[in-house]
Structure 1
């Protein structure tokens, strides 16, 4: 299910999500120099620029961080959630369909130290992943997130 505001110009803070390459998701390890969760595994995504829609933010971040060009038709799920940076705002969580990309298509950007693929459950179980992101993925896997 896709949230009704996914493609609209609304007030929100950012967008992160699960990018499927086959049955695995693409994640990255945050830089050690970052203030928020340095060295931890994170989902792809980030903050809104200008008047972007939630999808436009996610699309741009995916392109910047891993060099993949996703389309609206690639999204199979989206929902808002309270923003970590500003609890008075919302952010969006996305899940793509399995994309027609190979690992060799990934072009790692200038954020983070490495990218990895793993199953969503492996991400949830990793001791080095961001806990709030793990909870979001776990909630998605168990059907606790709603549009």
Structure 2
């Protein structure tokens, strides 16, 4: 039933015979094309897990020295200013992820052999991002191995 709705106009051309038992058919179709976007929005996140060692010291110094800690007034406004400043310093010192739209894969159960094999097979991904001679050679070697 849905296919009938896509056909807008259909004609058989009477004088144009391609072969004796076949007639030329001309049809106009209207297809509804839907774009499927990412199901999950790409969200950049602050790399808080890097808050160790030297990065921790730099972060602490910037927060203490330059922070908006002397402001007076409404508690909500003070909180917003401090939180915004802390996020800004974290962005500068720790960095931000690019964001990921992929669902997380359940890889926690993989043993070391499986993880090693997966890393070795990701040579195409490296080749796609960086077409240097070393990556091309690795890709060709993996292709010859049949893996």
TM-score w.r.t. the length of structure 2 is 0.17
More strand by percentage: 1
More relative contact order, 1 or 2 (CA 8 Å, 6+ apart): 1
Greater Rg over alpha carbons, structure: 2
TM-score w.r.t. the length of structure 1 is 0.17
More helix by percentage: 2
